[in-house]
Chain A
Amino acid sequence: MNIMKTYLNNKRAVALFTLPALLLYTIVVSYPVLQTLYRSFYDWNGLGGGTFSGLSNYVKLIHDPLLMRSLRNGALFALVLVIFQIGLGTLLALVCADPNVKGRKILKAGYFIPVVLSVTVVCQLWIAIYDPTSGLVNKLFQVLGISYQQNWLTSSTVSIIAIAFVNAWQFMGFQFSLLYAGVKSIPEQYMEAAIIDGCSKWKAHLKITIPLMAETYKFCFILAITSGIGAFIQMLIMTSGGPGTTNYTLTYMIYRYAFLDSKYGYACAISVFLVALSLLATLVINRLFGRERVTY
Protein backbone atom coordinates (compact mmCIF):
# COMPACT_ATOMS: atom_id res chain seq x y z
CA MET A 1 0.00 0.00 0.00
CA ASN A 2 2.81 2.36 0.86
CA ILE A 3 4.53 1.63 -2.35
CA MET A 4 1.29 2.32 -4.15
CA LYS A 5 1.09 5.70 -2.55
CA THR A 6 4.56 6.77 -3.46
CA TYR A 7 3.95 5.71 -6.99
CA LEU A 8 0.52 7.20 -7.42
CA ASN A 9 1.60 10.36 -5.64
CA ASN A 10 4.25 11.00 -8.21
CA LYS A 11 3.76 14.71 -8.81
CA ARG A 12 5.85 14.79 -11.92
CA ALA A 13 3.85 12.01 -13.46
CA VAL A 14 0.59 13.73 -12.58
CA ALA A 15 1.78 16.90 -14.22
CA LEU A 16 3.05 15.08 -17.26
CA PHE A 17 -0.23 13.25 -17.66
CA THR A 18 -2.65 16.08 -17.06
CA LEU A 19 -0.99 19.28 -18.17
CA PRO A 20 -1.12 18.78 -21.94
CA ALA A 21 -4.86 18.12 -21.85
CA LEU A 22 -5.60 20.81 -19.30
CA LEU A 23 -3.54 23.38 -21.12
CA LEU A 24 -5.16 22.82 -24.48
CA TYR A 25 -8.61 22.60 -22.96
CA THR A 26 -8.14 25.77 -20.96
CA ILE A 27 -6.98 27.80 -23.91
CA VAL A 28 -9.42 26.54 -26.50
CA VAL A 29 -12.52 25.80 -24.44
CA SER A 30 -12.41 27.59 -21.09
CA TYR A 31 -11.05 30.88 -22.27
CA PRO A 32 -13.87 31.48 -24.77
CA VAL A 33 -16.33 30.35 -22.11
CA LEU A 34 -14.94 32.92 -19.70
CA GLN A 35 -15.35 35.53 -22.38
CA THR A 36 -18.92 34.42 -22.77
CA LEU A 37 -19.46 34.91 -19.06
CA TYR A 38 -17.87 38.34 -19.23
CA ARG A 39 -19.90 39.36 -22.25
CA SER A 40 -23.12 38.21 -20.63
CA PHE A 41 -22.98 41.42 -18.60
CA TYR A 42 -22.85 43.53 -21.73
CA ASP A 43 -25.27 44.89 -24.24
CA TRP A 44 -23.25 43.76 -27.23
CA ASN A 45 -23.92 42.89 -30.86
CA GLY A 46 -21.01 40.47 -31.22
CA LEU A 47 -18.70 43.05 -32.78
CA GLY A 48 -17.37 46.33 -31.58
CA GLY A 49 -17.29 47.46 -27.97
CA GLY A 50 -20.70 47.05 -26.41
CA THR A 51 -21.83 48.68 -23.20
CA PHE A 52 -21.81 47.25 -19.71
CA SER A 53 -25.33 46.50 -18.59
CA GLY A 54 -24.91 44.62 -15.33
CA LEU A 55 -27.40 41.88 -14.75
CA SER A 56 -29.97 43.23 -17.17
CA ASN A 57 -29.48 40.37 -19.64
CA TYR A 58 -30.26 37.91 -16.88
CA VAL A 59 -33.30 39.87 -15.74
CA LYS A 60 -34.50 39.92 -19.32
CA LEU A 61 -33.98 36.18 -19.58
CA ILE A 62 -36.20 35.47 -16.59
CA HIS A 63 -39.00 37.43 -18.23
CA ASP A 64 -38.52 35.98 -21.67
CA PRO A 65 -41.55 33.81 -22.54
CA LEU A 66 -39.28 31.67 -24.70
CA LEU A 67 -37.36 30.57 -21.61
CA MET A 68 -40.19 28.54 -20.10
CA ARG A 69 -40.97 26.94 -23.42
CA SER A 70 -37.31 26.10 -23.98
CA LEU A 71 -37.00 24.59 -20.54
CA ARG A 72 -40.14 22.53 -21.01
CA ASN A 73 -38.92 21.32 -24.40
CA GLY A 74 -35.49 20.55 -22.99
CA ALA A 75 -37.02 18.51 -20.20
CA LEU A 76 -39.24 16.56 -22.58
CA PHE A 77 -36.34 16.01 -24.93
CA ALA A 78 -34.19 14.68 -22.09
CA LEU A 79 -37.01 12.45 -20.90
CA VAL A 80 -37.42 10.85 -24.32
CA LEU A 81 -33.67 10.30 -24.55
CA VAL A 82 -33.51 8.67 -21.14
CA ILE A 83 -36.46 6.37 -21.70
CA PHE A 84 -35.58 5.31 -25.19
CA GLN A 85 -31.81 5.29 -25.20
CA ILE A 86 -31.11 3.99 -21.75
CA GLY A 87 -34.20 1.79 -21.51
CA LEU A 88 -33.91 0.13 -24.88
CA GLY A 89 -30.11 0.33 -24.76
CA THR A 90 -30.07 -1.66 -21.54
CA LEU A 91 -32.42 -4.33 -22.86
CA LEU A 92 -30.48 -4.73 -26.06
CA ALA A 93 -27.15 -4.72 -24.24
CA LEU A 94 -28.27 -7.46 -21.87
CA VAL A 95 -29.68 -9.54 -24.70
CA CYS A 96 -26.66 -9.10 -26.92
CA ALA A 97 -24.34 -10.04 -24.08
CA ASP A 98 -26.15 -13.34 -23.77
CA PRO A 99 -24.21 -15.96 -25.73
CA ASN A 100 -27.41 -17.85 -26.54
CA VAL A 101 -28.59 -15.13 -28.90
CA LYS A 102 -27.79 -15.82 -32.51
CA GLY A 103 -26.06 -13.31 -34.77
CA ARG A 104 -25.02 -11.00 -31.98
CA LYS A 105 -22.11 -9.58 -33.90
CA ILE A 106 -24.24 -8.54 -36.82
CA LEU A 107 -26.98 -7.22 -34.59
CA LYS A 108 -24.56 -5.11 -32.62
CA ALA A 109 -22.99 -3.60 -35.70
CA GLY A 110 -26.45 -2.93 -37.11
CA TYR A 111 -27.68 -1.11 -34.04
CA PHE A 112 -24.76 1.23 -34.31
CA ILE A 113 -25.27 2.16 -37.97
CA PRO A 114 -27.50 5.22 -37.36
CA VAL A 115 -24.76 6.72 -35.17
CA VAL A 116 -22.36 6.50 -38.08
CA LEU A 117 -24.59 8.49 -40.41
CA SER A 118 -24.64 12.25 -40.39
CA VAL A 119 -27.42 14.02 -38.52
CA THR A 120 -28.55 15.67 -41.75
CA VAL A 121 -29.24 12.34 -43.42
CA VAL A 122 -31.15 11.00 -40.45
CA CYS A 123 -33.22 14.17 -40.10
CA GLN A 124 -34.14 14.14 -43.78
CA LEU A 125 -35.22 10.53 -43.45
CA TRP A 126 -37.44 11.28 -40.49
CA ILE A 127 -38.95 14.32 -42.10
CA ALA A 128 -40.16 11.93 -44.79
CA ILE A 129 -41.27 9.35 -42.23
CA TYR A 130 -43.29 11.93 -40.30
CA ASP A 131 -44.99 13.31 -43.40
CA PRO A 132 -48.71 13.37 -42.60
CA THR A 133 -49.87 11.99 -45.93
CA SER A 134 -47.10 9.87 -47.39
CA GLY A 135 -45.12 9.25 -44.19
CA LEU A 136 -44.57 5.82 -42.72
CA VAL A 137 -45.75 6.57 -39.19
CA ASN A 138 -49.25 7.53 -40.21
CA LYS A 139 -49.37 4.67 -42.72
CA LEU A 140 -48.35 2.24 -40.01
CA PHE A 141 -51.07 3.54 -37.72
CA GLN A 142 -53.53 3.24 -40.53
CA VAL A 143 -52.60 -0.38 -41.13
CA LEU A 144 -52.81 -1.13 -37.43
CA GLY A 145 -56.16 0.61 -37.26
CA ILE A 146 -54.98 3.16 -34.72
CA SER A 147 -56.58 6.54 -35.15
CA TYR A 148 -53.62 8.44 -33.77
CA GLN A 149 -52.52 9.70 -37.17
CA GLN A 150 -51.46 13.28 -37.09
CA ASN A 151 -49.21 16.00 -38.20
CA TRP A 152 -46.13 15.01 -36.30
CA LEU A 153 -43.91 17.99 -36.88
CA THR A 154 -46.41 20.82 -36.64
CA SER A 155 -48.42 19.86 -33.58
CA SER A 156 -47.64 22.05 -30.61
CA THR A 157 -47.85 19.07 -28.26
CA VAL A 158 -46.25 16.05 -29.90
CA SER A 159 -43.74 17.65 -32.26
CA ILE A 160 -41.07 18.07 -29.59
CA ILE A 161 -41.42 14.41 -28.70
CA ALA A 162 -41.32 13.42 -32.35
CA ILE A 163 -38.12 15.40 -32.85
CA ALA A 164 -36.58 14.12 -29.63
CA PHE A 165 -37.33 10.63 -30.80
CA VAL A 166 -35.21 11.16 -33.90
CA ASN A 167 -32.23 12.03 -31.74
CA ALA A 168 -33.04 9.20 -29.32
CA TRP A 169 -33.29 6.72 -32.14
CA GLN A 170 -30.14 7.84 -33.92
CA PHE A 171 -27.91 7.77 -30.87
CA MET A 172 -29.42 4.80 -29.11
CA GLY A 173 -26.61 2.71 -30.59
CA PHE A 174 -24.15 4.98 -28.87
CA GLN A 175 -25.59 4.44 -25.40
CA PHE A 176 -26.05 0.82 -26.31
CA SER A 177 -22.34 0.39 -26.98
CA LEU A 178 -21.46 2.02 -23.67
CA LEU A 179 -23.93 -0.16 -21.81
CA TYR A 180 -22.80 -3.25 -23.65
CA ALA A 181 -19.23 -2.57 -22.63
CA GLY A 182 -20.51 -2.09 -19.09
CA VAL A 183 -22.31 -5.42 -19.08
CA LYS A 184 -19.28 -7.14 -20.55
CA SER A 185 -16.99 -5.76 -17.91
CA ILE A 186 -18.87 -7.50 -15.12
CA PRO A 187 -17.23 -10.80 -14.23
CA GLU A 188 -19.37 -13.74 -15.28
CA GLN A 189 -19.06 -15.48 -11.91
CA TYR A 190 -21.48 -12.97 -10.39
CA MET A 191 -24.23 -13.93 -12.77
CA GLU A 192 -23.44 -17.61 -12.50
CA ALA A 193 -23.61 -17.43 -8.72
CA ALA A 194 -26.98 -15.70 -8.83
CA ILE A 195 -28.42 -18.23 -11.24
CA ILE A 196 -27.19 -21.10 -9.12
CA ASP A 197 -28.96 -19.41 -6.21
CA GLY A 198 -32.17 -19.85 -8.19
CA CYS A 199 -32.64 -16.42 -9.70
CA SER A 200 -34.09 -16.21 -13.20
CA LYS A 201 -31.83 -14.63 -15.77
CA TRP A 202 -33.69 -11.33 -15.87
CA LYS A 203 -33.99 -11.13 -12.13
CA ALA A 204 -30.28 -11.73 -11.82
CA HIS A 205 -29.64 -8.89 -14.22
CA LEU A 206 -31.89 -6.64 -12.24
CA LYS A 207 -30.24 -7.52 -8.96
CA ILE A 208 -26.64 -7.97 -9.99
CA THR A 209 -25.73 -6.63 -13.39
CA ILE A 210 -27.54 -3.33 -13.35
CA PRO A 211 -26.47 -2.22 -9.86
CA LEU A 212 -22.88 -3.10 -10.70
CA MET A 213 -23.07 -0.84 -13.71
CA ALA A 214 -23.83 2.26 -11.65
CA GLU A 215 -20.77 4.05 -12.96
CA THR A 216 -21.76 3.40 -16.57
CA TYR A 217 -25.34 4.44 -15.90
CA LYS A 218 -24.23 7.63 -14.28
CA PHE A 219 -22.39 8.55 -17.42
CA CYS A 220 -25.29 7.52 -19.67
CA PHE A 221 -27.74 9.60 -17.69
CA ILE A 222 -25.48 12.62 -17.71
CA LEU A 223 -25.09 12.25 -21.43
CA ALA A 224 -28.80 11.83 -22.14
CA ILE A 225 -30.00 14.60 -19.87
CA THR A 226 -27.44 17.20 -20.81
CA SER A 227 -27.90 16.52 -24.50
CA GLY A 228 -31.62 16.97 -23.95
CA ILE A 229 -31.07 20.32 -22.30
CA GLY A 230 -28.71 21.42 -25.02
CA ALA A 231 -30.63 19.97 -27.98
CA PHE A 232 -30.42 22.05 -31.12
CA ILE A 233 -29.42 20.58 -34.44
CA GLN A 234 -32.51 18.41 -34.99
CA MET A 235 -34.76 21.42 -34.40
CA LEU A 236 -32.71 23.50 -36.77
CA ILE A 237 -32.85 20.96 -39.59
CA MET A 238 -36.34 19.60 -39.12
CA THR A 239 -38.49 22.60 -38.21
CA SER A 240 -36.21 25.62 -37.69
CA GLY A 241 -37.50 25.68 -34.14
CA GLY A 242 -41.01 26.06 -35.47
CA PRO A 243 -43.77 26.23 -36.23
CA GLY A 244 -43.14 29.68 -34.89
CA THR A 245 -41.23 29.18 -31.69
CA THR A 246 -42.95 25.93 -30.69
CA ASN A 247 -39.81 23.83 -30.69
CA TYR A 248 -37.36 26.29 -29.25
CA THR A 249 -34.72 25.02 -26.85
CA LEU A 250 -32.08 26.93 -24.91
CA THR A 251 -29.48 26.45 -27.62
CA TYR A 252 -31.99 27.47 -30.24
CA MET A 253 -32.61 30.65 -28.28
CA ILE A 254 -28.88 31.30 -28.22
CA TYR A 255 -28.62 30.80 -31.94
CA ARG A 256 -31.57 33.04 -32.67
CA TYR A 257 -30.54 35.91 -30.42
CA ALA A 258 -26.90 35.80 -31.40
CA PHE A 259 -27.26 35.60 -35.14
CA LEU A 260 -30.78 36.67 -36.09
CA ASP A 261 -31.32 39.43 -33.56
CA SER A 262 -27.63 40.42 -33.19
CA LYS A 263 -27.99 40.35 -29.41
CA TYR A 264 -24.79 38.59 -28.64
CA GLY A 265 -24.59 39.75 -25.04
CA TYR A 266 -28.01 38.33 -24.32
CA ALA A 267 -27.12 35.09 -26.10
CA CYS A 268 -24.06 34.88 -23.85
CA ALA A 269 -26.27 35.17 -20.77
CA ILE A 270 -28.43 32.32 -22.03
CA SER A 271 -25.30 30.26 -22.64
CA VAL A 272 -24.13 30.84 -19.10
CA PHE A 273 -27.54 29.75 -17.88
CA LEU A 274 -27.40 26.66 -20.08
CA VAL A 275 -23.98 25.64 -18.81
CA ALA A 276 -25.03 26.22 -15.21
CA LEU A 277 -28.17 24.19 -15.68
CA SER A 278 -26.27 21.30 -17.25
CA LEU A 279 -23.75 21.38 -14.46
CA LEU A 280 -26.51 21.35 -11.90
CA ALA A 281 -28.17 18.39 -13.61
CA THR A 282 -24.85 16.56 -13.56
CA LEU A 283 -24.36 17.20 -9.86
CA VAL A 284 -27.86 15.97 -9.10
CA ILE A 285 -27.28 12.82 -11.12
CA ASN A 286 -24.02 12.27 -9.30
CA ARG A 287 -25.83 12.60 -5.99
CA LEU A 288 -28.61 10.26 -7.02
CA PHE A 289 -26.17 7.59 -8.04
CA GLY A 290 -24.45 7.85 -4.71
CA ARG A 291 -20.82 8.04 -3.87
CA GLU A 292 -18.41 6.43 -6.18
CA ARG A 293 -18.43 2.74 -5.75
CA VAL A 294 -15.44 0.74 -4.74
CA THR A 295 -14.43 -1.75 -7.34
CA TYR A 296 -15.06 -5.39 -6.77
Chain B
Amino acid sequence: MGPAPAIEVRGLSHSYGERRALDGVEFSVEAGTIFGLLGPNGGGKTTLFRLLSTLLPIQAGQARVLGLDLARESNEVRKHIGVTFQSPSIDPKLTVGENLKYQGQIYGLFGAALRQRIDLLAEKLGLKERLGERAETLSGGLKRRVEIAKGLLHRPQLLLLDEPSTGLDPGARHDLWRYLRGLREEDGVTVLVTTHLMEEAERCDTLGILDHGRLIALDTPLALRTKLGDDYVTVQCDDPDELSQRIHERFGVTPQKIGGALRIGKSRGHEFVRDLVEAFPVEVKTVSLGKPTLEDVFIERTGHRFWDEEPQ
Protein backbone atom coordinates (compact mmCIF):
# COMPACT_ATOMS: atom_id res chain seq x y z
CA MET B 1 0.00 0.00 0.00
CA GLY B 2 1.34 3.39 -0.95
CA PRO B 3 0.96 6.55 1.08
CA ALA B 4 -2.57 7.77 1.73
CA PRO B 5 -3.93 9.93 -1.07
CA ALA B 6 -3.95 13.67 -0.47
CA ILE B 7 -7.45 13.95 -1.87
CA GLU B 8 -10.03 11.22 -2.17
CA VAL B 9 -13.40 12.01 -3.66
CA ARG B 10 -16.29 9.58 -4.07
CA GLY B 11 -19.64 10.19 -5.72
CA LEU B 12 -19.36 13.93 -5.20
CA SER B 13 -22.32 15.89 -6.57
CA HIS B 14 -23.35 19.48 -6.15
CA SER B 15 -26.30 21.52 -7.38
CA TYR B 16 -27.07 25.21 -7.37
CA GLY B 17 -30.83 25.04 -7.06
CA GLU B 18 -31.99 23.13 -10.13
CA ARG B 19 -28.68 23.30 -11.93
CA ARG B 20 -26.39 20.35 -11.36
CA ALA B 21 -22.80 21.57 -11.40
CA LEU B 22 -21.06 18.36 -10.32
CA ASP B 23 -22.36 14.90 -11.00
CA GLY B 24 -20.91 11.89 -9.21
CA VAL B 25 -17.25 12.82 -9.47
CA GLU B 26 -14.70 10.25 -8.24
CA PHE B 27 -10.93 10.52 -8.16
CA SER B 28 -7.97 10.52 -5.85
CA VAL B 29 -4.81 12.58 -5.87
CA GLU B 30 -1.56 10.96 -4.85
CA ALA B 31 0.42 12.88 -2.26
CA GLY B 32 3.35 14.90 -3.61
CA THR B 33 2.03 15.26 -7.14
CA ILE B 34 0.61 18.05 -9.26
CA PHE B 35 -2.98 17.29 -10.19
CA GLY B 36 -4.73 19.30 -12.88
CA LEU B 37 -8.44 19.77 -13.38
CA LEU B 38 -9.06 20.68 -16.99
CA GLY B 39 -12.36 21.71 -18.39
CA PRO B 40 -14.21 24.46 -20.17
CA ASN B 41 -15.72 27.29 -18.14
CA GLY B 42 -18.89 26.01 -16.54
CA GLY B 43 -17.61 22.44 -16.59
CA GLY B 44 -17.63 22.15 -12.81
CA LYS B 45 -13.99 22.85 -11.91
CA THR B 46 -14.71 25.89 -9.83
CA THR B 47 -17.49 24.13 -7.93
CA LEU B 48 -15.15 21.26 -7.16
CA PHE B 49 -12.49 23.76 -6.11
CA ARG B 50 -14.91 25.52 -3.75
CA LEU B 51 -15.96 22.24 -2.20
CA LEU B 52 -12.35 21.20 -1.61
CA SER B 53 -11.45 24.59 -0.17
CA THR B 54 -14.34 24.32 2.38
CA LEU B 55 -16.27 27.28 1.00
CA LEU B 56 -19.29 25.22 -0.04
CA PRO B 57 -21.09 22.58 2.03
CA ILE B 58 -20.93 18.95 0.85
CA GLN B 59 -24.38 18.06 -0.48
CA ALA B 60 -23.88 14.52 -1.71
CA GLY B 61 -20.97 12.10 -1.77
CA GLN B 62 -17.78 11.97 0.24
CA ALA B 63 -14.52 13.85 0.13
CA ARG B 64 -11.44 13.31 2.23
CA VAL B 65 -8.63 15.80 2.20
CA LEU B 66 -5.32 14.73 3.78
CA GLY B 67 -7.18 11.91 5.48
CA LEU B 68 -9.75 14.27 7.01
CA ASP B 69 -13.44 14.23 6.27
CA LEU B 70 -14.31 17.41 4.42
CA ALA B 71 -17.89 17.49 5.67
CA ARG B 72 -17.23 16.94 9.37
CA GLU B 73 -13.66 18.12 9.91
CA SER B 74 -13.57 21.20 7.72
CA ASN B 75 -11.87 23.36 10.31
CA GLU B 76 -9.06 20.82 10.67
CA VAL B 77 -8.79 20.66 6.87
CA ARG B 78 -8.43 24.46 6.74
CA LYS B 79 -5.28 24.30 8.86
CA HIS B 80 -3.49 22.10 6.36
CA ILE B 81 -4.50 23.49 2.99
CA GLY B 82 -3.37 26.62 1.24
CA VAL B 83 -5.85 28.21 -1.13
CA THR B 84 -5.19 30.61 -3.99
CA PHE B 85 -8.32 31.93 -5.61
CA GLN B 86 -8.75 33.03 -9.18
CA SER B 87 -10.04 36.41 -8.06
CA PRO B 88 -7.48 38.32 -6.02
CA SER B 89 -7.82 38.10 -2.26
CA ILE B 90 -5.18 40.64 -1.34
CA ASP B 91 -6.22 43.92 0.23
CA PRO B 92 -5.18 46.64 -2.23
CA LYS B 93 -5.01 49.32 0.47
CA LEU B 94 -2.44 47.42 2.49
CA THR B 95 1.22 46.86 1.72
CA VAL B 96 2.45 43.46 0.60
CA GLY B 97 4.05 42.96 4.02
CA GLU B 98 0.83 43.86 5.84
CA ASN B 99 -1.19 41.53 3.64
CA LEU B 100 1.15 38.70 4.53
CA LYS B 101 1.21 39.61 8.22
CA TYR B 102 -2.58 39.61 8.58
CA GLN B 103 -2.87 36.42 6.58
CA GLY B 104 -0.35 34.71 8.87
CA GLN B 105 -2.18 35.92 11.96
CA ILE B 106 -5.52 34.48 10.94
CA TYR B 107 -3.67 31.17 10.66
CA GLY B 108 -2.34 31.58 14.17
CA LEU B 109 1.21 32.65 13.29
CA PHE B 110 2.80 35.62 15.03
CA GLY B 111 6.01 37.26 16.19
CA ALA B 112 9.44 36.14 15.04
CA ALA B 113 8.18 32.89 13.52
CA LEU B 114 5.79 34.81 11.28
CA ARG B 115 8.43 37.37 10.29
CA GLN B 116 10.88 34.63 9.35
CA ARG B 117 8.26 32.90 7.29
CA ILE B 118 7.34 36.11 5.46
CA ASP B 119 11.01 36.89 4.76
CA LEU B 120 11.65 33.40 3.49
CA LEU B 121 8.69 33.33 1.12
CA ALA B 122 9.30 36.91 -0.01
CA GLU B 123 12.84 35.97 -0.95
CA LYS B 124 11.81 32.75 -2.63
CA LEU B 125 9.06 34.44 -4.66
CA GLY B 126 11.07 37.57 -5.47
CA LEU B 127 8.92 39.88 -3.35
CA LYS B 128 11.58 41.03 -0.95
CA GLU B 129 11.87 44.52 -2.43
CA ARG B 130 8.09 44.85 -2.57
CA LEU B 131 7.11 44.21 1.03
CA GLY B 132 6.68 47.91 1.75
CA GLU B 133 4.67 48.67 -1.40
CA ARG B 134 0.90 49.02 -1.54
CA ALA B 135 -0.63 45.93 -3.12
CA GLU B 136 -2.69 48.09 -5.51
CA THR B 137 0.48 49.33 -7.23
CA LEU B 138 1.73 45.85 -8.19
CA SER B 139 1.54 44.27 -11.62
CA GLY B 140 -0.69 41.24 -12.21
CA GLY B 141 2.24 38.82 -12.03
CA LEU B 142 3.48 40.24 -8.73
CA LYS B 143 -0.02 40.19 -7.24
CA ARG B 144 -0.32 36.53 -8.16
CA ARG B 145 2.96 35.86 -6.39
CA VAL B 146 1.63 37.59 -3.27
CA GLU B 147 -1.47 35.38 -3.48
CA ILE B 148 0.72 32.30 -3.62
CA ALA B 149 2.85 33.51 -0.73
CA LYS B 150 -0.38 34.02 1.26
CA GLY B 151 -1.41 30.45 0.52
CA LEU B 152 1.94 29.04 1.65
CA LEU B 153 2.59 30.99 4.87
CA HIS B 154 1.26 28.31 7.18
CA ARG B 155 3.17 25.48 5.45
CA PRO B 156 0.19 23.68 3.95
CA GLN B 157 0.56 20.08 2.81
CA LEU B 158 -1.86 20.69 0.00
CA LEU B 159 -2.02 23.80 -2.17
CA LEU B 160 -5.21 24.47 -4.14
CA LEU B 161 -4.96 26.95 -7.00
CA ASP B 162 -7.92 28.11 -9.07
CA GLU B 163 -6.84 29.19 -12.58
CA PRO B 164 -3.48 30.38 -11.25
CA SER B 165 -2.22 31.84 -14.50
CA THR B 166 -5.19 34.12 -15.14
CA GLY B 167 -3.80 37.47 -16.17
CA LEU B 168 -0.19 36.29 -16.31
CA ASP B 169 2.06 36.86 -19.30
CA PRO B 170 3.89 33.79 -20.66
CA GLY B 171 7.07 34.60 -18.76
CA ALA B 172 5.27 34.90 -15.45
CA ARG B 173 3.33 31.72 -16.20
CA HIS B 174 6.57 29.88 -16.80
CA ASP B 175 7.97 31.13 -13.47
CA LEU B 176 4.80 30.06 -11.69
CA TRP B 177 5.06 26.52 -12.97
CA ARG B 178 8.73 26.30 -12.16
CA TYR B 179 7.87 27.35 -8.65
CA LEU B 180 5.01 24.84 -8.32
CA ARG B 181 7.31 22.02 -9.42
CA GLY B 182 9.88 23.20 -6.90
CA LEU B 183 7.27 23.01 -4.15
CA ARG B 184 6.44 19.47 -5.07
CA GLU B 185 10.04 18.32 -5.40
CA GLU B 186 11.67 20.11 -2.48
CA ASP B 187 8.84 20.15 0.00
CA GLY B 188 6.59 17.30 -1.06
CA VAL B 189 3.59 19.63 -1.28
CA THR B 190 0.64 18.25 -3.20
CA VAL B 191 -0.71 20.74 -5.70
CA LEU B 192 -4.15 20.86 -7.29
CA VAL B 193 -4.70 23.38 -10.09
CA THR B 194 -7.74 24.09 -12.17
CA THR B 195 -7.17 25.34 -15.67
CA HIS B 196 -8.83 25.78 -19.01
CA LEU B 197 -5.50 25.99 -20.83
CA MET B 198 -4.30 22.85 -22.63
CA GLU B 199 -0.71 23.99 -22.45
CA GLU B 200 -0.95 24.25 -18.69
CA ALA B 201 -2.72 20.92 -18.34
CA GLU B 202 0.25 19.27 -20.11
CA ARG B 203 2.47 20.22 -17.20
CA CYS B 204 0.49 18.30 -14.57
CA ASP B 205 1.45 14.84 -13.31
CA THR B 206 -2.14 13.68 -13.47
CA LEU B 207 -5.05 15.22 -15.22
CA GLY B 208 -8.78 15.01 -14.67
CA ILE B 209 -11.02 16.37 -17.38
CA LEU B 210 -14.38 17.75 -16.31
CA ASP B 211 -17.26 18.41 -18.65
CA HIS B 212 -20.86 19.17 -17.65
CA GLY B 213 -20.04 18.25 -14.08
CA ARG B 214 -18.75 14.79 -14.91
CA LEU B 215 -15.18 13.54 -14.82
CA ILE B 216 -14.73 12.22 -18.32
CA ALA B 217 -11.04 11.31 -18.22
CA LEU B 218 -8.40 10.71 -15.58
CA ASP B 219 -4.79 9.82 -16.31
CA THR B 220 -1.39 11.34 -17.01
CA PRO B 221 -1.45 13.77 -19.94
CA LEU B 222 0.84 11.46 -21.91
CA ALA B 223 -1.32 8.39 -21.31
CA LEU B 224 -4.45 10.29 -22.24
CA ARG B 225 -2.94 11.28 -25.54
CA THR B 226 -1.35 7.92 -26.38
CA LYS B 227 -4.59 6.10 -25.58
CA LEU B 228 -5.98 7.78 -28.66
CA GLY B 229 -3.13 6.12 -30.45
CA ASP B 230 -3.71 7.55 -33.87
CA ASP B 231 -2.20 10.35 -35.81
CA TYR B 232 -4.44 13.28 -36.42
CA VAL B 233 -4.85 14.74 -39.89
CA THR B 234 -6.29 18.22 -40.18
CA VAL B 235 -7.62 19.37 -43.52
CA GLN B 236 -8.45 22.96 -44.45
CA CYS B 237 -10.96 23.23 -47.25
CA ASP B 238 -13.67 25.49 -48.70
CA ASP B 239 -16.68 23.25 -48.18
CA PRO B 240 -16.08 21.00 -45.19
CA ASP B 241 -19.56 19.40 -45.27
CA GLU B 242 -19.26 18.20 -48.82
CA LEU B 243 -15.66 17.05 -48.46
CA SER B 244 -16.52 15.25 -45.23
CA GLN B 245 -19.20 13.29 -47.07
CA ARG B 246 -16.85 12.38 -49.89
CA ILE B 247 -14.03 11.35 -47.55
CA HIS B 248 -16.51 9.11 -45.76
CA GLU B 249 -17.60 7.49 -49.02
CA ARG B 250 -14.08 6.99 -50.23
CA PHE B 251 -12.15 5.98 -47.08
CA GLY B 252 -14.89 4.81 -44.68
CA VAL B 253 -13.86 7.27 -41.92
CA THR B 254 -16.00 10.00 -40.39
CA PRO B 255 -14.11 13.28 -40.11
CA GLN B 256 -14.94 15.66 -37.27
CA LYS B 257 -15.82 19.14 -38.37
CA ILE B 258 -14.01 21.75 -36.34
CA GLY B 259 -14.78 25.25 -37.48
CA GLY B 260 -13.89 25.33 -41.15
CA ALA B 261 -11.57 22.34 -40.92
CA LEU B 262 -11.89 18.59 -40.84
CA ARG B 263 -10.04 16.40 -38.38
CA ILE B 264 -9.49 12.72 -38.91
CA GLY B 265 -7.93 10.28 -36.46
CA LYS B 266 -6.06 7.57 -38.38
CA SER B 267 -3.20 5.21 -37.79
CA ARG B 268 -0.32 5.49 -40.30
CA GLY B 269 -1.35 9.09 -40.89
CA HIS B 270 1.45 9.84 -43.34
CA GLU B 271 0.04 7.32 -45.83
CA PHE B 272 -3.44 8.72 -45.37
CA VAL B 273 -2.19 12.22 -46.14
CA ARG B 274 -0.77 10.97 -49.43
CA ASP B 275 -4.01 9.15 -50.35
CA LEU B 276 -6.11 12.12 -49.37
CA VAL B 277 -4.19 14.62 -51.44
CA GLU B 278 -4.21 12.26 -54.44
CA ALA B 279 -7.96 11.73 -54.12
CA PHE B 280 -8.94 15.36 -53.64
CA PRO B 281 -6.18 17.48 -55.17
CA VAL B 282 -8.46 20.49 -55.67
CA GLU B 283 -10.64 20.37 -52.58
CA VAL B 284 -7.84 20.01 -50.03
CA LYS B 285 -6.21 23.40 -49.54
CA THR B 286 -3.77 22.57 -46.77
CA VAL B 287 -3.24 19.45 -44.76
CA SER B 288 -1.33 18.87 -41.55
CA LEU B 289 -0.35 15.76 -39.63
CA GLY B 290 0.10 15.64 -35.87
CA LYS B 291 0.00 13.57 -32.72
CA PRO B 292 -3.17 13.81 -30.66
CA THR B 293 -3.42 16.79 -28.31
CA LEU B 294 -5.37 17.08 -25.11
CA GLU B 295 -7.99 18.90 -27.12
CA ASP B 296 -8.36 15.74 -29.23
CA VAL B 297 -8.77 13.79 -26.01
CA PHE B 298 -11.50 16.18 -24.97
CA ILE B 299 -13.31 15.98 -28.31
CA GLU B 300 -12.99 12.20 -28.34
CA ARG B 301 -14.52 11.84 -24.87
CA THR B 302 -17.25 14.43 -25.12
CA GLY B 303 -18.10 14.52 -28.79
CA HIS B 304 -17.94 18.29 -28.75
CA ARG B 305 -15.26 20.90 -28.92
CA PHE B 306 -13.60 22.32 -25.86
CA TRP B 307 -14.90 25.80 -26.63
CA ASP B 308 -18.27 24.80 -28.03
CA GLU B 309 -20.34 26.50 -25.41
CA GLU B 310 -18.11 29.47 -24.97
CA PRO B 311 -16.57 30.69 -28.17
CA GLN B 312 -13.30 32.47 -27.62
Are these two chains actual partners, yes or no? no
Residues of B at the A interface (CB closer than 8 Å) are none
Residues of A at the B interface (CB closer than 8 Å) are none
